[in-house]
């Protein structure tokens, strides 16, 4: 069977793969093929920002991984959502536009990560952005491919949340990606003209139109083909082979990039032997150091119907919102629900905030097929920003279709900021 051949083969058309493929495609004399296991990003839950929870809940667009039972969390298996669709997790995520704290990047540089200080990464952030709200700010850019804006007219409950924080003497933060991201305020979202923004939409799609970048969806990569010490291409689950004249780029996300490497024989030799995979390269770091931010939402129901949600009392309001969105792409349906937030220090002696409180003026979804909450309420989710627990991604079986074994080791180590 003749293998298709390209200069570059990019695995995974998520947030990073779509951007990488688009950038590679700027060289008009080179060809790139980006391969995505999920389907096209056509479902309306992906595009209508307020249906974000429904997009996450949709089985067809979420790999729905779970951790192994977590001893630090009473044996629970913690859900690990990951986008399974063109756009990847960027097609189902909360659309919230946050960078790390400036000091986080400086820590990386101090730890030996040359080129990653805040001053060095800032130009890349500003270059990617078209920020509608801070056009004059040195921390933001205009004219970049990704549109960023505040949700206009947030739900009134956001102001109750922010007033409560003000009454406790916490500071207001005018820009969470500015000089001092601490306090409470409104969050910006990756939204354009009332629709979700993603690198797949605004970077990859224009690149595909140029003709030298190709996309295959519903194409699951099972391994990288190694010839000698070179990644020469990839094999798909249906047996097809795509060859790369120059490079194979793995951008299948935090969980599946190590999975593909291990299925290709690149990973910790002891583990690969246990699973029965021939070792091509003993790379002990593959699948190590897995960590994620832990959030524990507290949900409240309200008797009044100020929050987003569906109830008999709000039928006229919701019908009006649907009409407004259909006609103008504006109104509550054009927002991503997560409209305000607070970044706070649990101890004033810390040098930067170590906890985020996410405010959500809506109840959680109760039925996977109903894209809006039934009834009214709100949620506050504390998020530990600097988890110290470190886990692993391992293969559960040599079968490429088997979900990887994710052990987050949640809460195995107390989480505090060390400085
Ligand atoms: C529910 C959720 C909410 C989030 N909210 C926010 C937020 O509000 N703001 C924010 O900044 N970040 C958020 N994030 C995080 C952010 O979305 C991710 O960090 C980012 O999208 C990761 O990009 P990536 O390219 O590494 O992986 P992904 O975007 O996940 O892309 C990986 C792609 O690879 C594909 N793939 C995997 N295995 C294979 C294979 N074997 N063959 C072919 N293709 C494969 C997947 O289908 C997927 O499309 C959220 C994430 C999730 C899951």
Pocket test for ligand 1, best of 52, 55, 61, 93 (most atoms within 8 A of CB): 93
Ligand 1: distance of its center to the CA of 122 in Å? 22
Q: How far is CA 385 from CA 210, 283, 354, 380, in A?
A: 40, 29, 5, 15
Q: How far is CA 224 from CA 30, 134, 287, 413, in A?
A: 21, 43, 16, 35
Residue 23 CB coordination number (10 Å): 13
If pLDDT is split at 50, 70 and 90, which confidence band does 204 have? very high
Q: How far apart are CA 64 and CA 248, in angstroms?
A: 26
Residue 80 CB coordination number (10 Å): 20
Ligand 1: distance of its center to the CA of 348 in Å? 34
3-class DSSP state for residue 296?
A: coil
Q: Which of 301, 219, 226 is nearest to 38 (CA)?
A: 219
Pocket test for ligand 1, best of 67, 85, 90 (most atoms within 8 A of CB): 90
Q: How far apart are CA 140 and CA 106, in angstroms?
A: 19
Ligand 1 atom 48: the closest Cα is on which residue? 88
Atom of ligand 1 nearest to the CA of 18: 25
Rounded to an integer, the average pLDDT of 356-361 is 96
* CB of residue 404 inside a 6 A radius of ligand 1: no
* CB of residue 258 inside a 6 A radius of ligand 1: no
139 token code pair: 């921390």
Do 367 and 219 form a contact (C-beta atoms < 8 A)?
no
pLDDT beyond 60 at 404: yes
pLDDT beyond 90 at 419: no
Q: Which of 214, 5, 201 is nearest to 85 (CA)?
A: 201
Pocket test for ligand 1, best of 223, 236, 252 (most atoms within 8 A of CB): 252
153 token code pair: 């007219």
Q: How confident is the model over 291-328, as pLDDT tens digits? A: 988 888 999 999 999 999 999 999 999 999 999 999 99
Q: How confident is the model over 215-274, as pLDDT tens digits? A: 999 999 999 999 998 999 999 999 999 999 999 999 999 999 999 999 999 999 999 999
| Chain-centroid distance, C-alpha 140 | 20
Residue with tokens 């921390």: 139
* CB of residue 62 inside a 6 A radius of ligand 1: no
| Dihedral angle over CA of 256, 128, 193, 45, nearest 10 | 0
Q: How confident is the model over 90-116, as pLDDT tens digits? A: 999 999 999 999 999 999 999 999 999
Q: CA 214, 58, 254 angle in degrees (round to 5)?
A: 60
* CB of residue 403 inside a 6 A radius of ligand 1: no
Ligand 1: distance of its center to the CA of 257 in Å? 11
DSSP codes joined into one string, 132-144? SS-TT-TT--SSS
Q: How confident is the model over 278-292, as pLDDT tens digits? A: 999 999 999 999 998
What global pTM score does this model have? Answer: 0.94
Pocket test for ligand 1, best of 10, 12, 36, 104 (most atoms within 8 A of CB): 12
Atom of ligand 1 nearest to the CA of 86: 49
Rounded to an integer, the average pLDDT of 53-68 is 94
* CB of residue 39 inside a 6 A radius of ligand 1: no
pLDDT beyond 70 at 187: yes
Residues 6+ apart with CB under 8 A from 296: 381, 382
Q: Which of 254, 215, 210 is nearest to 81 (CA)?
A: 254
* CB of residue 96 inside a 6 A radius of ligand 1: yes
User: Which H or E element spans position 223?
Assistant: strand 221-227
User: Which H or E element spans position 19?
Assistant: helix 15-24
Ligand 1 atom 50: the closest Cα is on which residue? 93
Q: CA 124, 176, 147 angle in degrees (round to 5)?
A: 50
Sorted by where each starts, the structural domains of the chain and their CATH numbers stand as 44-197+293-384 (3.30.560.10)
If pLDDT is split at 50, 70 and 90, which confidence band does 408 have? confident
3-class DSSP state for residue 43?
A: coil
Q: How far apart are CA 30 and CA 24, in angstroms?
A: 8
Q: Is 275 exposed, middle or buried (0-12, 13-18, 19+ CB in 10 A)?
A: middle
Ligand 1: distance of its center to the CA of 86 in Å? 10
């Amino acid at each position: 069977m003749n293998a298709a051949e390209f200069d570059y083969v990019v695995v995974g058309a998520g947030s990073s793969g779509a951007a990488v493929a688009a950038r590679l495609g700027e060289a008009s004399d080179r060809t790139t093929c980006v391969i995505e296991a999920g389907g096209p990003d056509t479902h309306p839950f992906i595009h209508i920002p307020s249906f974000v929870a429904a997009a996450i809940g949709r089985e067809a667009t979420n790999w729905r991984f779970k951790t192994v039972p977590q001893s630090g969390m009473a044996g629970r298996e913690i859900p690990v959502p990951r986008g399974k669709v063109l756009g990847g997790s960027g097609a189902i995520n909360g659309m919230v536009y946050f960078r790390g704290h400036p000091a986080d990047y400086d820590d990386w540089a101090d730890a030996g990560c040359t080129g990653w200080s805040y001053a060095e990464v800032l130009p890349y952030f500003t270059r990617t952005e078209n920020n509608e709200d801070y056009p004059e700010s040195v921390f933001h850019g205009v004219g970049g491919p990704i549109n960023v804006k505040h949700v206009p007219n947030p739900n009134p409950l956001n102001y109750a949340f922010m007033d409560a924080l003000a009454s406790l003497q916490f500071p207001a933060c005018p820009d969470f990606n500015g000089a001092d991201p601490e306090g409470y305020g409104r969050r910006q979202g990756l939204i354009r003209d009332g629709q979700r923004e993603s690198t797949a939409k605004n970077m990859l799609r224009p690149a595909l139109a140029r003709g030298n970048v190709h996309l295959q969806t519903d194409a699951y990569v099972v391994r990288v083909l190694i010839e000698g010490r070179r990644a020469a291409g990839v094999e798909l689950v249906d047996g097809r082979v795509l060859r790369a004249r120059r490079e194979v780029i793995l951008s299948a996300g935090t969980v599946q990039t190590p999975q593909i490497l291990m299925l290709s024989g690149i990973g910790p030799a002891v583990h690969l032997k246990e699973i029965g995979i021939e070792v091509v390269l003993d790379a002990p770091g593959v699948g190590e150091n897995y960590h994620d931010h832990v959030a524990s939402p507290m949900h409240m129901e309200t008797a009044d119907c100020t929050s987003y949600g569906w109830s008999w009392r709000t039928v006229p309001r919701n019908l009006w919102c649907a009409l407004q969105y259909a006609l103008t792409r504006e109104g509550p349906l054009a927002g991503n629900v997560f409209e305000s937030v607070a970044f706070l220090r649990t101890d004033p002696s810390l040098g930067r905030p170590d906890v985020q409180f996410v405010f959500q003026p809506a109840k959680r979804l109760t039925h996977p097929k109903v894209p809006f909450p039934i009834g009214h309420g709100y949620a506050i989710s504390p998020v530990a920003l600097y988890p110290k627990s470190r886990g692993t991604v391992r293969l559960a079986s040599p079968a490429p279709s088997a979900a990887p074994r994710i052990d987050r080791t949640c809460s195995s180590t107390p989480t505090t900021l060390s400085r």
